[in-house]
Amino acid sequence: MSIVPHIVGVLVLLVGVLVSVGLHELGHMIPAKKFGVRVSQYMVGFGPTLWSRTKGETEYGIKAIPLGGFVRLVGMMPPAPEGTKRKKGFWNELVADARDASVAEVRPGEEHRAFYNLSTPKKLVVMFGGPFMNLVIATFLMAIILIGYGLPAVSTTVAQLSDCVPASATSSATGDDCEGQPAAPAAAAGLQPGDEVVSFGGTEVTGWQQLVGLINASAGRESDVVVLRDGERVTLEVTPAETERPVVDEQGAAVLAADGTPVTEPGGFVGFSPLQVREPQPLSRVLPEVGNMTWQTATMVATLPVRVAEAATQAFTAEERSQDSVQSMVGVARISGEIMALDEAILDRVMIYLSLLASLNIALFVFNLIPLLPLDGGHLVNALYEGGKRTVARVRGAAVLPGPADVARMTPVAYVVFLILLGVGGVLIVADLVDPVRIT
């Protein structure tokens, strides 16, 4: 098997991720500059700088490790209150160093341009701008998929004819299973692949599920079936056979019981399989679909410790890795390579890529809203806390409102969260290398 499609798939994903990260950071930078905050750096990636260019007061660049990005907003942490003495101890030194580094970025006379001097609403706009940009990207991609490409659906067009009436719901209607069985009613009636069923038993047909209901209700009785063939309406006579037939879902797939056997019910059998098509969706379908994806991702993030433990257990035991297992970027990259290697039409593969990229942007949106530093959600919580204190002070009629929240005090939390995320990422990377999730 050629490795080239896999490499191309990974590179395509990499470009998509970098664009998403770059737009995320723009979501922070644009409002920050609009509000007067000095932005000293805009970088896509981490580690050594591969390329950079300074325009105005901002250095724009690309770094070597394409696993994120950042914008450096000057003055993220306010200076210590006047008269505060530097305390000893590892964590206290960590807080003081972080505060000093932030204050040192503020040029003399530009204190008014520091991030910490923004009002609470402006801080919320700046910090929410990044995740919101990911939500916009996901919504745009889902609009392309749903409106331009559509969702899988079952038509009323004949795709393939059965040879006979099956002896049971679990036997096939072709080959050796047809020995001694009567011919399928559809073939006997003269239906052909490509015929579109437009009427059955005098009722206009509007969809597959309705047609199945009409066939079941007509079991054992001769009925008129009108098909559209080469642009002309052709009327045929068909008598659905009485049989136990599998229950199918809206996509035409058999519904299975807990033991894996098909669920059956008494009904009629005509003997043709429907053509699978894609139906473009209305614009009104986009936001509900994005909302559903966001909810599912939020549920996964809320149960992340359990899911990481399950992924590790499945990777290092005989238990099979589940298809919905949480993955690292290594696992996602592997999936991307498999998509490119699929034996599918190029448009189908492009849409699968767009769906994957939409899911990643939803994940970035939800994950960044976790209310802990160094994530955007942590800064949002700090801004809300600061705004809450000022509101209470106003209500109480305080002459002087509280200053900016001392974000530096949360530096230890940011370090602990960073180490936890690093550990989780390491576990998932190993799991994806040892026992990856596969789509083929």
Active site residue 179: no
d(C-alpha 120, C-alpha 314), whole Å: 45
Q: Which two tokens stand for residue 19?
A: 């664009």
Tell me: pLDDT of 367 over 60. yes
Opening angle at CA 296, ends 290 and 300, nearest 5: 140
Average confidence (pLDDT) over 95-112: 88
Residue predicted with more confidence, 168 or 339: 339
pLDDT digits (tens, 9 = 90+) for 268-286: 888 888 888 888 999 999 9
The answer to the question of residue 290 being in a domain is no
CA 209 to the chain's CA centroid = 29
Average confidence (pLDDT) over 357-369: 94
| 172, 166 Cβ separation under 8 angstroms | yes
| 187, 161 Cβ separation under 8 angstroms | yes
Question: Considering its fold, how many domains does the chain have in total?
Answer: 1
Q: How many CA atoms lie within 13 A of 298 on its CB side?
A: 11
Residue predicted with more confidence, 172 or 276: 276
d(C-alpha 19, C-alpha 357), whole Å: 10
Tell me the average pLDDT of the chain: 88
The answer to the question of residue 156 being in a domain is yes
Residue predicted with more confidence, 208 or 362: 362
The answer to the question of residue 158 being in a domain is yes
pLDDT digits (tens, 9 = 90+) for 244-266: 777 766 655 677 777 777 777 78
- Domain with 263 in it: what CATH number? 2.30.42.10
| 223, 185 Cβ separation under 8 angstroms | no
Tell me: pLDDT of 24 over 90. yes
Active-site residue, from 25, 289, 310, 338: 25
pLDDT digits (tens, 9 = 90+) for 43-84: 998 889 999 999 999 999 999 888 788 999 999 988 887 777
Q: List the domain range (segments joined by +) for residue 180.
A: 152-279
Instruction: Give the closest residue to 147 by CA, choosing from 251, 274, 336, 289.
Output: 289
| 335, 5 Cβ separation under 8 angstroms | no
The answer to the question of residue 3 being in a domain is no
Q: pLDDT > 70: what percent of the chain?
A: 96
| 250, 214 Cβ separation under 8 angstroms | no
Residue predicted with more confidence, 99 or 29: 29
The answer to the question of residue 379 being in a domain is no
Q: Which two tokens stand for residue 255?
A: 């519904």
The answer to the question of residue 185 being in a domain is yes
Average confidence (pLDDT) over 169-186: 75
